[in-house]
């Protein structure tokens, strides 16, 4: 499976949750598959989805699901110790690990070689780290939500992108409707 197929499958689970979605094609895919006010789409700032989601989870009690990528986590590796030492139980980091920089032409990342993101997350202090195969993502995500514990999911899947339109929604509208969904 590629990322868009996973997102299509887990959309019914994501719909009822606060979602912070990674820059580029992941946000375009989620927006096209199932746009919700409770989705925060990153239009720029590669690497910060996990940090934005962590701040959000620390500030309020609702479950926060971050959809991140292997390339984006690699660009902000300092996030893992911060998560490992501070993540509250309402924080789920789901790293779609397709071993490539999908938004820029599927150039390989190091996670397709020797680098093990799950091992790095554990070494950084994250207590619940699970490696999931693409077909099992929905089950594993629901388990993470139901567990009421902070979880880092590393979802192994194939490299590739669906062709989806660029998000043209104004960032202030994305942010404003998201904040209303948080507060509702």
Partner 1 sequence: MNIDKKITNDLVANDVSFVTTVPCKQLAGVIDEIDQCEDIFHIPSNKEDEGMGLCAGAWMGGKRPAIIMQNTAIGVTINTLATLTQFYRMPLPMLISYRGELREPVACQVEMAVHTKALLAQLNIPTYHFHHQSDVEEFDNILKYTYMCNKPVAILTDANFWGGYGDQ
| Binding positions for partner 1, rule: CB under 8 A | 20, 40, 42-45, 47-60, 76, 78-79, 81-82, 86, 171-172, 174-175, 178-179, 182-183
How many residues can be counted in the chain? 184
CB atoms within 10 A of CB 180: 11
CB atoms within 10 A of CB 173: 10
Provide long-range contacts, Cβ within 8 A and 24+ apart, for 115-119.
115/74, 117/70, 117/73, 117/74, 117/154, 118/152, 118/154
**Residue 100: φ, ψ to 5°:** -155, 160
- The nearer residue to partner 1, 76 or 89, going by C-beta atoms, is 76
- The nearer residue to partner 1, 6 or 94, going by C-beta atoms, is 94
- The nearer residue to partner 1, 25 or 49, going by C-beta atoms, is 49
Host H or E run for residue 54: helix 49-59
Q: In whole angstroms, how close is the CB of 90 to partner 1 at the nearest point? A: 10
- The nearer residue to partner 1, 7 or 20, going by C-beta atoms, is 20
Alpha-carbon distance of 83 to 89, in angstroms, equals 11
Host H or E run for residue 2: none
- The nearer residue to partner 1, 82 or 159, going by C-beta atoms, is 82
Q: In whole angstroms, how close is the CB of 78 to partner 1 at the nearest point? A: 3
């Amino acid at each position: 499976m590629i990322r868009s197929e996973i997102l299509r499958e887990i959309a019914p689970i994501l719909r009822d949750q606060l979602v912070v979605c990674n820059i580029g094609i992941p946000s375009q895919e989620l927006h096209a598959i199932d746009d919700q006010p409770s989705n925060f789409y990153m239009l720029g700032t590669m690497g910060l989805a996990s940090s934005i989601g962590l701040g959000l989870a620390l500030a309020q009690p609702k479950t926060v699901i971050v959809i991140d990528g292997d390339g984006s986590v690699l660009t902000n590796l300092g996030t893992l110790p911060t998560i490992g030492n501070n993540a509250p139980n309402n924080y789920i980091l789901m790293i779609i690990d397709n071993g490539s920089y999908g938004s820029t032409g599927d150039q390989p990342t190091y996670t397709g070689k020797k680098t093990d993101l799950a091992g790095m997350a554990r070494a950084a202090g994250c207590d619940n780290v699970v490696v999931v195969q693409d077909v099992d993502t929905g089950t594993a995500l629901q388990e993470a939500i139901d567990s009421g514990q902070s979880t880092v999911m590393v979802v192994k899947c194939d490299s590739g992108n669906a062709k989806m339109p660029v998000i043209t929604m104004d960032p202030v509208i994305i942010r404003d409707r998201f904040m209303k969904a948080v507060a509702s």
